[in-house]
Amino acid sequence: MGAVYRCVDRSDGSEVAVKRLLDQSQEARFEIEARLLASLRHPRIVSAREYFTDPSGDFFSMEFVSGPNLAELLDRDGDPGLPLEDVLTYVEQACEALDYVHRQRIVHRDIKPQNLILADRGVILVDFGVARELDWRSGTAGVGTPGLMAPEVFAGGAVSDRSDIYSLAATAWTLLNGSPPGYTRRGSLKGVPPWVEQALLRALEFMPEQRTPSAVALVADLKRRIVRDLGSDLALSVPDDRRPASLLEAVVRTAAGVFDAAAASIALLDEATGEAVFHAAWGAGAREIVGVRLARGQGIAGSVLLAGEPIVVPQCRSDSRFASQVAAGTGYVPVTLLVVPLRRGSEVSGVLSLLDRRDGTPYGADDVGRAELFGELAAIAVDLGPTALAGHEAD
């Protein structure tokens, strides 16, 4: 799908890694994933710097992480596996990254030793699986790497947070054993305490619902202590005396997760001016869009606020209603967009915007009904007056 190059940033002389898209059929997805990765800020995750295009193709640059990946470390020092304490440290650090990523409603999809680099600051998670969904029915593996991917993924089923947990447990098993676990006959881990093996087996359960549920739980199971929270949430909101920030941020974060969006935002009607004010946002461009005002009828969101009807735009950049100058100001111009009204009875109090499905496919008419139902629920949640807020705090 792509190639990665070691490059020099001429502006400051620093080394960077640059990924170039080779499969142009994946252009939309490449851009969406690049911008989503750029919004992540965590010391255990490779940081993206810039997405750009030129006549030779599509690219995005990332920090250059120096150090061996864990597969190289295993090949070099494995006998046949690596020391237990080292592996537990690597897994704990990988879990710090996964805990943050999963709280952003993102699934890595390809956890394996090759994608965990041991740098000066510890293990760094790289390669977020851009356009890795290949057709397993044609004989190619699905999302992930055979031997390390969860059984439900190998069978072409749904990918979830627990798919990553399986892959990380399989990675730990590989680092301890020198080879990955099988799906049925796994043998045992020689020289490893039974409680460590049992913890990994719980994370390697065949059925996702029976599996260790989270990265935090896996570390607690392995090391009997909780992962430190080194991350922060991507959801942002403007101060509002009537609406708890945590509530607004939870709504946009949940909307992004439910609709697999790279970004989501809520704009509410300012009755004094008649404008739509973006009160909360999650994901790419969130920091820049919060607080922005749109006049009624301006852009897609303003048009929905004026007419009270949902609008789905398969290709934003060719739609005359799209407020491209506003999007350009946020540094994030979406490919596809779905906007629905926040309605309580006959009144429209705001709009919910969903930007870019993460798999690169456009939003369509089939998504509108579900989004409207979510919008009705969101309207009830965010339309809290002082009396309702007092009741909320009392609870």
Task: Tell the CATH topology of 236-394.
Answer: Beta-Lactamase (3.30.450)
Q: Is the pTM of this model over 0.75?
A: no
Integer-rounded Cα radius of gyration of the chain: 23
Fold of 70-223: Transferase(Phosphotransferase); domain 1 (1.10.510)
Q: What is the pLDDT of residue 233?
A: 64
Q: CATH 3.30.450.40 spans which residues of the chain?
A: 236-394
Let me know if 110 is a catalytic residue: yes
In the chain, which segments carry CATH 3.30.200.20? 2-63
Q: What is the pLDDT of residue 204?
A: 94
> Could you report the per-residue pLDDT of 255-295, keeping only the tens digit for each?
988 898 888 999 998 888 888 899 999 887 788 888 888 88
**Range(s) within the chain of domains with CATH label 1.10.510.10:** 70-223
Which residues of the chain form beta strands (DSSP E)? 2-8, 15-21, 48-54, 57-63, 116-119, 122-125, 236-237, 261-270, 275-283, 293-294, 311-313, 337-344, 347-357
**Segment 19-47 mean pLDDT:** 86
Catalytic residue among 99, 110, 127, 164: 110
Q: Name the residue with higher pLDDT: 103 or 140.
A: 103
The yes or no reply on domain 2-63 and CATH 3.30.200.20 is yes
What integer pLDDT is reported at residue 23 of this predicted model?
87
For position 326, what pLDDT does the model report? 66
Distances in Å between the Cα of 7 and the Cα atoms of 61, 64, 65, 102, 334 are 9, 9, 12, 30, 28
CA distance 288 to 171: 38
Q: What is the pLDDT of residues 34-71, one digit of tens each?
A: 887 788 889 999 988 888 898 889 999 999 999 999 99
